[in-house]
Amino acid sequence: MILAEGMLKPGALKGKNILITGGGTGLGKSMGEYFLELGANIVITSRKLDVLLATAEEMMAAKGGKVIPIACDVREIEQVEAMWKEATGQLGQIHVVLNNAAGNFISPTERLSTNAFNTVLDIVLKGTSQVTLTAGKDWIAKKQAGVFLNIVTTYAWTGSGYVVPSAAAKAGVLALTRSLAVEWAKYDIRSNAIAPGPFPTEGAWSRLLPGDLVKKFDPAKKVPVGRVGEHQELANLAAYLVSDYSSYVNGEVMTIDGGEWLKGAGEFNNLDVIPEEMWDMMEASRGKKA
């Protein structure tokens, strides 16, 4: 198995300047590391400058290249605009925006306060649209090409209980992705999304499912291929979608979940609990009737 291997050829992202929201930790960091390895310069943003500074140091020591950390709460438009000014000021042009920053609370919906609900909507939907609008307007004004890659989730189209503000917000991000893919293609701006299934991260897993809950709701058990994802697998897909190799891919959402959401959707998929002997019995009884 080559799960942990990079897929694109060396230098595939040379000359690209890529901005990653939520780039200091988790999946954002993993994707950033691979972009850096492929020759890109990256800007990483989040609310926590200390985390960003440490990540930037670590990444540059490991992979070389340039990593620019900029503190920015994507919910605050003034901070988003200041961050964009700083990023473009330092790098000249940003070629790719990876909207990865997210927030989520696992909870019965009726237990969420209005502020809790709005907090998730604000980070995921408002944050993504604010970064997208800020970047897109600047690209259009300067006649620069651009690529958006937005991280959504498979419950953006199915919806999901217990993560309702996240589901509503991610559905909005998916609509934003597909809408702008058409509207802004004339400006040479592409928009795509990735819907990842379970990829273990510190933030999402230990905080969203504290204590024994992770064991009790082992996500690997829901995945037909029988395992969770490797970060490099997601990084490979992301690198392809931000690279020029995917120039003809626009308005697409690529699912990378080992078949997880389809397993939940197919009416008879849970019949995999039936043992072979029982299928044998059913087959035998069918034979008798014939």
Mind telling me the catalytic residues?
155
Sequential DSSP letters for 100-128: -------S-GGGS-HHHHHHHHIIIIIHH
For residue 20, list its beta bridge partners. Answer: 44, 98
Please, which of residues 43-102 interact with ligand COA by CB under 6 A?
102
Long-range contacts of 85-92 (CB under 8 A, 24+ apart): 87/17, 87/19, 87/43, 88/138, 90/43, 91/17, 91/41, 91/43, 91/66, 92/17
For residue 172, list its beta bridge partners. Answer: none
Residue 86, token pair as written in the block: 């700083």
- When asked if residue 116 is in the footprint of ligand COA (CB under 6 A), the reply is yes
Question: Least CB distance from residue 177 to ligand COA, whole Å?
Answer: 17
Stretch that binds ligand COA, among 82-90, 109-117, 228-236, 258-266 (CB under 6 A): 109-117
Question: Least CB distance from residue 110 to ligand COA, whole Å?
Answer: 11
CB atoms within 10 A of CB 91: 17
- When asked if residue 204 is in the footprint of ligand COA (CB under 6 A), the reply is yes
Q: Are strands 96-99 and 67-71 parallel, antiparallel or unpaired?
A: unpaired
Nearer Cβ to ligand COA, position 113 or 285? 113
Contact 257, 230 (CB under 8 A): no
Nearer Cβ to ligand COA, position 91 or 204? 204
Q: Quick one: which of 113, 212, 216, 226 contacts ligand COA (CB under 6 A)?
A: 113
CA separation for the pair 237, 105 (Å, rounded): 27
- When asked if residue 112 is in the footprint of ligand COA (CB under 6 A), the reply is yes
Q: Quick one: which of 28, 69, 103, 172 contacts ligand COA (CB under 6 A)?
A: 103
- When asked if residue 119 is in the footprint of ligand COA (CB under 6 A), the reply is yes
Question: Least CB distance from residue 251 to ligand COA, whole Å?
Answer: 24
Nearest to 102 by CA among 50, 32, 151, 33: 151
Total residues at the site for ligand COA (CB under 6 A)? Answer: 13
- When asked if residue 104 is in the footprint of ligand COA (CB under 6 A), the reply is yes
Q: Based on the number of CB atoms within 10 Å of its own CB, is 18 exposed (0-12), middle (13-18) or buried (19 or more)?
A: buried
Question: Least CB distance from residue 64 to ligand COA, whole Å?
Answer: 29
- When asked if residue 207 is in the footprint of ligand COA (CB under 6 A), the reply is yes
Mark residues 151-190: x for contact with ligand COA by CB under 6 A, - for none.
----------------------------------------
Nearer Cβ to ligand COA, position 12 or 151? 151
Nearer Cβ to ligand COA, position 109 or 179? 109
Name every residue whose Cβ is closer than 8 Å to that of residue 126 and which is 6 or more positions away in sequence: 74, 75
Binding footprint of ligand COA on the chain (CB under 6 A): 102-105, 107, 112-113, 115-116, 119, 203-204, 207
